């Protein structure tokens, strides 16, 4: 049912107040296709909403919010190397990961406990503890929300990059042009554990588990996340608020010369990624609040709404931190969530 003047406060994990002129929960691909024929909605601005866990609502939205709630998960085939598993875009991401592990299909365990939906995972190419979802995606189906036509994208078509994909690069996500309806994953039959990420390795060490299986890795990842990342149910947040900045080799050398303890992750192209959380902490913002918003005391990269925050409160804090980190380190911090 098409709802008017819909309150989005409970539909974004930062709990920012904003209203949508129109709101529709979409439970099937057919519903989305039919929408394209609805003349009363022609030309209307759209936004495709998943779990709302990577979203900053900067104000009311004068168009149509499509909340994708398409269910379903199944194994669609296998070959010598992979199981192919498909899921509806509306499935909860963590429930889906746990289900694959229960079925005996490893490969997504490092991405356990990430909030959000299956359909949102490819948009920003979610990543954690040494794995990006791009590494496990075979392809996906999206629908053009204006024409109802399907788009089938292979992994290469998705143009995955760090926290990015064709959906962000081409603006299809922000202008609601495409809605992902199903994602197909290629899960490896010859599975090898990815346990090199320092915090995950330390957690497995503490558990005295030198040869973990995929479910045990998921448990260790979940424990690390629960320890460090605030639960949106009690501390509304959108995960990492900034991307980890990548700088050229010259700038990286300058930064590490100033402080050799600065975490640095050399990239294939010679550039170097640094940890935004470290920069924010060193600039003195960890655990610090400005009004009702602040950076979490255990992970400086996570901005928390401590109650009653509005978009302007977030803007004031993020601009202050961006300016301070720029002044102290000469590094630009770019927000990681989608700003609507
Ligand atoms: N660090 C600090 N202070 C902080 C936070 C981090 O000094 O307050 C240092 C850590 O000690 C470590 C380094 O920065 O040396 C990296 O920290 P961490 O392992 O916590 O990861 P991150 O770079 O802060 C990224 C992702 C997370 C993901 C983790 C684990 C981005 C923007 N964030 O965070 O993803 O869970 O790695 O792989 O890439 C998200 O995207 O929402 C998200 C939570």
- At the top level of CATH, which class does the domain 3-68 belong to? alpha beta
Q: What is the Cα–Cα distance from 19 to 127, expressed in whole angstroms?
A: 30
Catalytic residue among 29, 46, 136, 163: 163
**CB distance 230 to ligand 1 below 6 Å:** no
Which distant-in-sequence residues (6+ apart) come within 8 Å of 258 by Cβ? none
Q: Is 240 tagged catalytic?
A: yes
Question: Cβ-count burial of 91 within 10 angstroms (0-12 exposed, 13-18 middle, 19+ buried)?
Answer: buried
Domain ranges of the chain: 3-68, 73-188, 237-339
Q: Which residues contact 10 (CB under 8 A, 6 or more apart)?
A: none
DSSP secondary structure letter of residue 35: H
Output the pLDDT for position 43. 86
Cα distances from 104 to residues 75, 201, 254, in angstroms, run: 12, 23, 47
pLDDT the model gives residue 333: 98
Q: What residues of the chain score a pLDDT lower than 50? A: none
Longest distance between any two alpha carbons in the chain, whole Å? 62
Give the number of C-alpha atoms closer than 13 A to the C-alpha of residue 278, restricted to the C-beta side: 16
For residue range 218-260, what is the model confidence (pLDDT) as tens digits?
A: 999 999 999 999 999 999 999 999 999 999 999 999 999 999 9
CATH number for the domain formed by residue range(s) 73-188: 3.30.465.10
- Dihedral, CA of residue 213, residue 216, residue 218 and residue 219, to nearest 10: 180
pLDDT digits (tens, 9 = 90+) for 40-67: 898 899 999 999 999 999 999 999 999 9
Catalytic residue check, 53 = no
Phi-psi region of 112 (alpha: psi -120 to 50; beta: other; left: phi over 0): beta
How confident is the model at residue 155, as a pLDDT? 98
Beta bridge pairs of residue 214: none
Residue 13, pLDDT score: 98
Is 219 noted as a catalytic residue in this protein? no
Q: At CA 177, angle to CA 171 and CA 180, rounded to 5?
A: 100
| pLDDT given at position 245 | 98
Pocket test for ligand 1, best of 165, 240, 325 (most atoms within 8 A of CB): 240
- For residues 287 and 296, is the Cβ–Cβ distance under 8 A? yes
In the prediction, which pLDDT does 39 show? Answer: 87
pLDDT score of 136: 98
Asked if residue 12 lies in contact with residue 55, where contact means CB atoms within 8 angstroms, the answer is yes
CA 179/CA 170 separation, integer angstroms: 13
**Ligand 1 in reach of 244 Cβ (< 6 A):** yes
Is residue 49 a contact partner of residue 90, using CB atoms and an 8 Å limit?
A: no
237 lines ligand 1 (CB under 6 A): no
> Which residue's alpha carbon is nearest to atom 19 within ligand 1?
199
Residue 113 CB–ligand 1 contact under 6 Å:
no
How many angstroms separate the alpha carbon of residue 284 from the centre of ligand 1?
A: 17
Asked whether the whole model's pTM tops 0.95, one would answer: yes
Cα–ligand 1 centroid distance for 128 (angstroms): 9
CA distances from 78 to 73, 95, 215 (A): 15, 22, 21
Cβ atoms within 10 A of the Cβ of 1, count? 5
Hey, whose CA ends up nearest to atom 3 of ligand 1?
A: 278
Cβ-contact 311, 281 below 8 angstroms: no
Q: What is the pLDDT of residue 11?
A: 97
Calculate the average pLDDT of the chain: 97
Kindly report the protein residue whose alpha carbon is nearest to atom 41 of ligand 1: 240
Q: Is there a contact between 55 and 170 (Cβ–Cβ < 8 Å)?
A: no
CATH number of 237-339: 3.10.129.10, 3.40.50.10710, 3.90.1210.10, 3.90.78.10?
3.90.78.10
């Amino acid at each position: 049912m098409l709802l008017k003047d819909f309150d989005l406060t409970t539909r974004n994990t930062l709990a920012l107040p904003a209203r949508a002129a129109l709101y529709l929960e979409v439970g099937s691909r057919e519903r989305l296709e039919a929408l394209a024929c609805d003349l009363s909605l022609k030309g209307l601005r759209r936004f495709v909403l998943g779990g709302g866990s990577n979203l900053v609502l900067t104000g009311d939205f004068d168009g149509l919010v499509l909340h994708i709630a398409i269910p379903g998960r199944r194994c669609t085939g296998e070959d010598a190397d992979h199981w192919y598993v498909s899921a509806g875009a509306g499935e909860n991401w963590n429930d889906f990961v746990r289900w694959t592990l229960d079925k005996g299909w490893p490969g997504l365990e490092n991405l356990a406990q990430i909030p959000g939906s299956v359909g949102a995972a490819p948009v920003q190419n979610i990543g954690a503890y040494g794995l990006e979802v791009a590494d496990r995606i075979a392809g996906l189906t999206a629908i053009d929300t204006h024409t109802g036509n399907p788009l089938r994208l292979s992994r290469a078509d998705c143009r995955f990059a760090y926290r990015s994909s064709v959906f962000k690069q081409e603006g299809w996500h922000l202008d609601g042009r495409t809605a992902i309806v199903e994602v197909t994953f290629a899960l490896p039959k010859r599975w090898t554990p990815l346990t090199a990420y320092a915090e995950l390795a330390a957690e497995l060490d503490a558990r005295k588990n030198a040869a973990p299986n995929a479910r045990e890795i998921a448990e260790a990842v979940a424990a690390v996340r629960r320890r460090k990342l605030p639960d949106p149910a009690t501390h509304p947040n959108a995960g990492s608020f900034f991307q980890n900045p990548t700088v050229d080799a010259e700038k990286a050398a300058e930064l590490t010369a100033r402080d050799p303890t600065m975490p640095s992750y050399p990239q294939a192209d010679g550039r170097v990624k640094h940890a935004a959380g470290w920069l924010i902490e060193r600039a003195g913002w960890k655990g610090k609040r400005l009004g009702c918003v602040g950076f979490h005391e255990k992970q400086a990269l996570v901005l928390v709404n401590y109650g009653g925050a509005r978009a302007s409160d977030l803007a004031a804090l993020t601009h202050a931190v961006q300016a301070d980190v720029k002044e102290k380190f000469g590094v630009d911090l770019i927000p990681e969530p989608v700003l609507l």
